[in-house]
Chain A
Amino acid sequence: MPDSADLVYAYDGSFEGLMCCVFESYELREIPIVIRHPGVPQSLFDTAKWIETDEHKAERVFNSIPLKISCQAQELVKLGFLTCVPHKELLIYHFLRLGFKVGNKVMTMLTDDTVHTLLKAVRHLTSESHKYKGFVRFSVYGEVLVAVIEPKNFVLPLLSQHFCNRFQNEEFMIYDKTHSMALIYQSQKAELIFVDELTLPDVDRTEVEYRQLWKQFYNTIAIEGRTNPRCRMNLMPKRYWGQLTEFATTPTIPTFPAAALVKRSQFQGKS
């Protein structure tokens, strides 16, 4: 294939769009050196080639991956698109080129630069998403649960299944501040929508009380004789702390009563 030294593709930022870039490159036997995301500012004399998203073409490329490479490769490409690795489009493109050439073997080429970079990016994504399964903190507003996260990778599609399954009867929203997207789950249906900004109302008394109980539990459960801030920081880096209830400054309790818990200890076992 001829290599046009300065060929730039521009696409609409969707996964289907990226698949169409792959299609175009194979169809016209050309190799782009940049695949540009719409978020990237353009220069005045822009010479990029706009690639229109066409579902049919995208599907053809996507469906050919398991046939020509493997299902794992297809999964890897899908996940790769959610990562925050720089120039992920080009990385995925190169990975597919290599895969279409060598077939399934590409998945074992761990010492190849393209392959190991993509695998590493995907590991970063899945480990971040695993962490968030634990680090998401909901606040209760009326009947609705709301959480805010600030992930590096676009983890919402990966979190969706976990939380929708776990909280089937709840209504909730997880707002991804980094990517301005929200996962909304109501009436047993999940949706990913663009949310530019989110302003939350004040929380009620019960919510404040549970936050305080959680904070108290968090502080009590640590054993003083084993304090190890470095270990904690390794396992739960500071960048997560901003949205963690246990590190938030406690809001003061609005006004008395309204309590969800029973008022009296009925414990009989004290003897």
Chain B
Amino acid sequence: MGCWKIDIFDKLTILSDSAKYDVACTSSGVERSGKPGSIGSAAKAGICHSFSADGRCISLLKVLMTNVCVYDCKYCINRVSNDITRVGFTPIELAELTINFYRRNYIEGLFLSSGVIKNPNNTTEQMIKALELLRNVYHFSGYIHVKAIPGAESELITRLGLLADRMSINIELPSQESLKLLAPDKTKESILRPMGLISTQIQEHSTDLAQYRHASKFVPAGQSTQLIVGATPDTDHTILTLTEGLYRKYHLKRVFFSAYMPVAEHSLLPSIDIKPPLLREHRLYQADWLLRFYGFEAKELLDEQNPNFNLQVDPKCNWALNHLEQFPLEINKAPYEMLLRVPGIGVTSAQRILTARRSGQIDFSGLKKMGIVLKRAQYFITCKGKIMQGLNITSDGAIRALMADQYKLPSPYPEQLSLFNEPFITRKDVQQCLTVPI
């Protein structure tokens, strides 16, 4: 039995360590005011409470309820065949930790996931018990993200969803073949079925809400999922097309990508000492951003002939270089959708340009004053019909060369490239992309 402190300290260590490969840590998507008699609220944009040494946002207390698991997913440290210490939180321990972290403003809420204890239903029931305690007895009204366990009954998933703000089911492996090989206990069906269920429930409840003010809310912040990048031979094209499909078909709020981090030695997996493909993951996030906010379609960015992103050039710049006939663009005339396609101009910049155009013509110094970074945009725009002074471009080839030059990778560590070497999307965009997405 021992002293509780060591107990809870060790449990927290083990159960957060096992949860850390789930990259989603956002607390966005729902606005909820505090109430007398309860503790907590939620902010639509989400709030980051800290940033860990890997630069990722910490918003939620991200833990597993238990790392006990009867499944044997090859890429996961909790797989049944792995010899590790198994522990679990009691609902009370979990509630106390959440409330005490929350009161101190360490966190925005809880991200609860779990290994499969006996079977998916039993696990879901345990999670419901823990969340009911937190919501109804501790009156916690902060953010809760809960993972649905593939294979659980619809009725249980519905009950779980009524306690949470966001729900996710991780697809992890982008194709059926990969699933079969590496996650033998899961099937595409067992993942997509609950995803479809959640999606329908969200829609039904939101129409109910419009009708009856007191209808309860089912995952008001929507659902998300995660795909592992680099554990299988699936191409960026496969991943991005799947992503686009998930947004369209299941109305997901977010698809997260997680560069495969070797945690297990297995003949079907990349060797244990490979470096995680961080730059590839970054390119996918950039492309995802283009799908969600820039009006791009997956097929504009990749196809069968070019199934993978260019690591040298970001997806938007790559698109622009392949469509030089559409440039240069006149800043004072171009429509919003086209402004968004200029390398170096993001959503904020494009909106500022629209605003400023209402009171007069913009020149290059005006753009600078508005905080628009011209480093790359300059090659693709004109102001009042003129290209930027001092810019001497003779041919399309020259632009390509200039761009490629800016992207020289600091070999021999191409994958170590920092996210912030590139002004593709502004630093704020990247931060939001990785932390507080909508």
Contacts and interface: CB of A to CB of B under 8 A. Distances in A.
Given A235-B55, A269-B118, A220 B16 contact: yes
A213 B9 contact: yes
Contact of A109 (B104, B142, B356, B418): B356
Nearest to A256: B3
A231 B329 CA distance: 33
Interface of A: 105, 107-111, 113, 116, 120, 130, 133-140, 145, 147, 162, 165-170, 188, 209-210, 212-214, 216-232, 234-236, 244-246, 259-267, 269-271
A139 B101 CA distance: 10
B135 to A, nearest CB: 16
Nearest to A110: B356
B73 interface: no
Given A137-B105, A220-B20, 16 more contacts: A105-B358, A111-B356, A111-B362, A138-B104, A162-B43, A165-B34, A169-B39, A216-B9, A221-B16, A222-B53, A236-B50, A246-B50, A259-B5, A261-B97, A262-B90, A263-B4
A116 B371 CA distance: 9
B100 interface: yes
Contact of B54 (A168, A228, A261): A228
Contact of B88 (A108, A140, A230, A267): A267
A265 B91 CA distance: 10
A267 B33 contact: no
A108 B35 CA distance: 38
B247 interface: no
Given A165-B41, A261-B96, A271-B68, A134 B356 contact: no
B407 interface: no
Contacts of B311: none
Given A209-B5, A235-B55, A269-B126, A137 B34 contact: no
Nearest to A109: B359
Contact of A210 (B87, B100, B419): B100
B431 A147 contact: no
Contact of A218 (B34, B39, B50, B57): B50
Nearest to B368: A111
Interface string B14-27: 00110111000000
A139 B104 CA distance: 6
A222 B275 CA distance: 16
